[in-house]
Structure formats: structure tokens, C-alpha cells
Amino acid sequence: MLKDKIRRPLAITMWEFSWLERRWPGAGYEDWDAALEALKARGYDAVRIDAFPHLVAAGPNREWELLPVWDQQEWGSPALTRVQVQPALNQFIARCREHGILVGLSTWFREDRDNMRMAIHTPQDLGAVWVATLDSIAADGLLDSLLYVDLCNEYPLSVWALWLRDENVRRASPLGTAWMRESIDVVRAKYPQLDYTFSFTTEYETWPEQDVSFLDFLEPHIWMAQSGDYYEKVGYHYERFDSTGYRNLQLNAERVYRENEAHWLNGLDERIDLCAAWSRGAKKMLMTTECWALVDYKDFPLLSWGYIKEMCEHGVKRAASTGRWVAIATSNFCGPQFVGMWRDVEWHRRLTDHIHNVKIEWE
């Protein structure tokens, strides 16, 4: 089905839960039309967002109080906030349609006061919350605006898939595979016309052991910073509520990269090539919406966007050259809240033009 939808590689971005949570003045998404117009002007074709399926299933029109997943990052709200998923979700998808933007649905299973994500106990429960969400979208005639459905961000990381109730679950295990296969079976039975996946950021080296036959494509998240010991040298450990990590990024991130650029870019190339090999071995095409440079970054004193853009450009061109990617992001900072990255319109246009001009190596 992807081949019917995608004639040339798509330039895609990730607006995760920010599209709904970051709507206070100056947060970047308070005017959806302005944000989408700016996205289109930069050459993008698609956006990946959080559909909050567990909240839609429990009460689509209810106001939910969400707890922050971090206060150091610029994705979503860094503090307590309240959201009403519907009709906002359908309104946003409709605005995307008006601007010629396809929508990839995903979820980070944001924590609300009642912790509704923990009402998921089985793969069938996971599939059911997605069926409820797609039902609500179908009711407004918006299914044809969807590019795909990703049932869980970066499965099976416990920070997102907490409903697994076991942080040691691996995708290659029978349990890890069963959750994916059986939940997709539930959703596909109701909506067979859509494409389904789980996005990943771990277990790439063991790909020959993983059964991904039931996925319509692979969505790996790939960063230079995950290769080798880069973050160890920098002193960054994904601190979510502690500024130590960002202080070490300020002091060390660009210096460590500049001291051995070829080494770090080679590490990025190896991860890209590994995923391309997985794609060929599994006979599944690739999309990537989070990628290429550092995992976490923001507009901050002593943090330059220059070397981030260099790495991202390298990653885009390396991935595109394989012919295996049908949708490519330029970074995971391609949103209006990342002002230093967002304002360089020429950089975005140059890379989205490059993405569009690559030939896809369809199986």
C-alpha cells in the first residue's frame, strides 16, 4: 500500500505531542495554520504526531491533566498541562489536509493523573485503543489523510511502553514479538487499508533474530550520538529533570565532535547502513522521523546549531543514497519551538529538495 501512496521519498517531521500541548502564547503551535504553512514552505510532505489513543479510548472529549515527562526538553509541555484530545485531533488532521500534509499517527503514551495507559494489559487492549482512535477519525471522513499508524514510539522502551510492566522485554523475544503482532492484528482487522508499524531505537544489531513480517515498514530512529562512546565523553545521560546533562552538552558536545568528526560521522554511517541492510533483509522499506545528530538539544546558551545541521545533512544524504527510505526527516528538531533550526528556511529547502529527488529502491 505504501507504494500506492508514495511516488517519491517524502520529507517528514515529528511534532509528537507538541502539536496539542504547546499551545500557550509563543510555544509554537498556538496557530496550527501558521505552523503548517511554515512547514510546507520548508518543503515537508508529512508530520508524525501523538494521537493519544489511550485517552481517546477512555474519553475523547474529556479534559485530561498531563504530567510532564521532562522539564529539560522542548517537546511537549515542561510542566503540568491540560488537554482535550477530540475534537482537536480531527481538527488538526483536517488542517493538515488543507495544507497538503499527510499525517503519521504515533503515541508516546503520555501520563495523565489517572495513568490511563496502565489500563492496557494485553496486546488486544493496545489494539483496541487504536481502533477507538481510528473510529473517531473515520467518523469525520479523515482516514485518507493518514500516512500510517505507529502503535508505540520506540518500542519497547519502558519510558513509553510502560504497560509492558517489564523493562527487560526485548522485541526479539516471543513476548515482545507477540505484543506487536497481536495488537496490529486487532487494528488491521478493522482498518486493513492502513499501514502499521512500531517505531524503534534499540536492538538494531540483532535484527536477523527479529520477526517483523507483520509490519508494513520499519521506522528506526538513528543518531550519531548513539554510536560508540560519544555521550560518555560528553557526560550526557538523558537527564529529564536535572540540568547537569545540558550543562555538559554546553561544555563538551561540539568540542568532542570537532575533535574527531570523521570518526563520529563514520559511526552514524554504520548505523544507517545497518538499518538499510535490515530493510533489504526483511524486505521492508524504511521511514525515519527522529534522527541524525544528537538525541536531545534546544535553543540554549553555548549551544550552536551549526554542527547539528552539518551532521543532519550528512545523515539525510547517506540515508537517501541507499534508496531504502521512503520518508526521511531532516532532524528531530524540525518544529517551530526550535527557533535556531526552524528559522534557516534555505537549509530545510535544500535538504527536502534532495530527499524528493532520490529514487526509491522498491522491492
CATH assignment at residue 177? 3.20.20.80
Helix extents (H) in 235-344: 244-248, 254-259, 261-282, 306-322, 339-342
- Residue 244 domain-assigned (yes or no): no
**Angstrom distances, CA of residue 162 to CA of 117, 126, 176, 277, 302:** 8, 12, 13, 30, 35
- In three-state secondary structure terms, 259 is helix
Supply the pTM of this predicted model.
Answer: 0.97
Rounded average pLDDT over 174-185: 97
- Residue 36 domain-assigned (yes or no): yes
Cis peptide before 192 (omega within 30 of 0): no
pLDDT band at 4 (very low <50, low <70, confident <90, very high): confident
CB 150 within 8 A of CB 208: no
Which residue segment(s) compose the domain that 333 sits in?
A: 2-228+262-356
- Residue 248 domain-assigned (yes or no): no
Residue 96: its pLDDT value, please? 98
Number of domains forming the structure of the chain: 1
CA torsion angle 287 289 295 300 (round to 10): 160
Neighbours of 321 (CB within 10 A): 12
Quick check: 90 pLDDT over 80? Answer: yes
Would you state the cell numbers that stand for residue 3, as one nine-digit string?
507504494
State the average pLDDT for the chain: 97
- Residue 251 domain-assigned (yes or no): no
Quick check: 173 pLDDT over 90? Answer: yes
Residues 171 and 178: their CA atoms lie apart, in Å, by: 9
- Residue 109 domain-assigned (yes or no): yes
- Residue 142 domain-assigned (yes or no): yes
Residue with cell 508494513: 216
Residues 29 and 338: their CA atoms lie apart, in Å, by: 12
Residues 33 and 15: their CA atoms lie apart, in Å, by: 14
Helix (H) or strand (E) holding 97, with range, is: helix 88-98
- List Cβ neighbours of 333 (8 Å cut-off, separation of 6 or more): 297, 298, 308, 341
DSSP 8-class letter at 303? -
- Residue 235 domain-assigned (yes or no): no
Quick check: 167 pLDDT over 90? Answer: no
Backbone angles phi, psi at 40, to 5 degrees: -65, -40
- Residue 361 domain-assigned (yes or no): no
